[in-house]
Amino acid sequence: MASISMNRLAEGAEKLGVTLDSYQLNQFEIYYLDLVDWNNRINITAITDVGEVQIKHFLDSLALVSVIKDRSNVSCRIIDVGTGAGFPGIPLKIAIPDIKMTLLEATTKKVLFLEHIVKKLAFNDIEIINGRAEEVAHKLEYREKFDIVVSRAVAELAILSELTLPFCKIGGGVIAQKKGDIQLELEQSLKAVETLGGSLTKVGKINLEGLDDERYLVVIDKIKATPEKYPRRSGMPEKKPLK
Ligand code: SAH
C-alpha cells in the first residue's frame, strides 16, 4: 500500500518524543484513507486534507502520549469520552499498543465507522461503546474503573467534568484537550471539578507546527469518589452545568 505520505506525522511525532515504526505509520495511513472514504458518505470530520489530518487530528491526539506515559504504566485502562471518529483514542492506541482502550460515542453512524476501522487495524484490547456518558458512567463495570479519561472537543470543562470524572479511579486523572482562550472556562469549572471529586492540577500548552489556534491539555486528578447522583440524567450536565 504506502501510497500517500505520512512524513509529516512521522516527523511531528518524533518532536513529541513518539517514534512510529512502519507498521504504525501504515495503520495511520489506512485510518486516513478510510476516514476520508467514509466521510464521502457520512459526515464524520470537517478536516480531510492529508496534511491537515496529520497535524490537526493525528499529531494533536499524540500530544497526549507523554502525559499518559508519565502518569501511568503502558498497560493502563483508558476511556475516550465522545471520541467521534476516534480522536484522540485511536491514535493513542496505535502509538501505545499495550493500553486498554475504550471508545465511547453517542452517535451511531460514528460508531459504525469506529467498528469498521478497529477491526481493520486489528487491535487487541479495544472496546467500543455506543452510548451517552451520563448513562454509561452509572454502570458498575465502567464507574471509577479507568486510570485515565481522555476527551477532546466535547464540552466546556464544567460540563465535561461531569461526563468524565465519574469514569476515573481515585488516583487516576482526566486529560481534556481544549482550544482557544480557556481562562474563564477554567475558573467556571472549579465548582464542578470539586463537586465531582476532582482537583484541577495542571494546564499545559500544546506546541505543534501548523496549528493556527491555541491548544491546551487540562489535567484533573481524581482525589475522591464521585457522589452517586452524578452524572445527572442525559442532557442535564449541559442544560444546568455545575457552575
Ligand atoms: N473527540 C472527537 C469528536 C469531537 S465532537 C474529536 O476531537 O474529533 C464531540 C463528540 O462527542 C460527538 O461525536 C458527540 O456525538 C459526542 N458526545 C457529545 N456528548 C456526548 C455524551 N454525553 N456521551 C457520549 N458522547 C458524546
Residue nearest atom 11 of ligand 1, based on CA coordinates: 82
Specify the 3-state DSSP secondary structure of 15: helix
Quote the pLDDT of residue 71: 87
Which of 158-179 are b and which e, b meaning 16 or more Cβ less than 10 Å from the residue's Cβ? bbbbbbbbbbbbeebbbbbbbe
> Which residue CA neighbors atom 13 of ligand 1 most closely?
84
**Phi, psi dihedral angles at 178 (to 5 degrees):** -125, 155
Alpha carbon nearest to ligand 1 atom 8, residue: 87
Computed over every residue of the chain, the mean pLDDT equals 95
Residue nearest to atom 26 of ligand 1 (CA): 82
> ∠ CA(33), CA(132), CA(242), 5° rounding?
120
Q: Does ligand 1 have an atom closer than 6 angstroms to the CB of 114?
A: no
Q: Which three cell numbers stand for residue 172?
A: 487516576
Confidence at residue 213, expressed as pLDDT on a 0 to 100 scale = 84
150 within ligand 1 shell (Cβ under 6 A): no
- Which tens digits make up the pLDDT trace of 165-211? 999 999 999 999 999 889 999 999 999 999 999 999 999 998 888 88
Question: Measured between alpha carbons, how far is 119 from 63 in angstroms, rounded to an integer?
Answer: 25
Residue type, 185: E
Pocket test for ligand 1, best of 154, 157, 160, 163 (most atoms within 8 A of CB): 154
Question: Of 3.40.50.150, 3.40.50.300, 2.130.10.10, 3.40.50.620, which CATH number belongs to 74-239?
Answer: 3.40.50.150
What is residue 217's predicted lDDT score, i.e. its pLDDT? 96
- All three cell numbers of 26, joined, read 501504515
Task: Tell me which residues of the chain have a pLDDT lower than 50.
Answer: 2
178 lines ligand 1 (CB under 6 A): no
- The C-alpha cell at 225 is 469518589
In terms of pTM, does the model score above 0.95?
yes
Atom number of ligand 1 nearest to Cα 151: 1
Q: What is the pLDDT of residues 146-163, one digit of tens each?
A: 999 999 999 999 999 999
Separation of alpha carbons 181 and 127, rounded Å: 33
What integer pLDDT is reported at residue 3 of this predicted model?
64
Nine-digit cell string for 21: 515504526
Please tell me the predicted confidence (pLDDT) of residue 45.
93
Given this model, what pLDDT does residue 180 score?
86
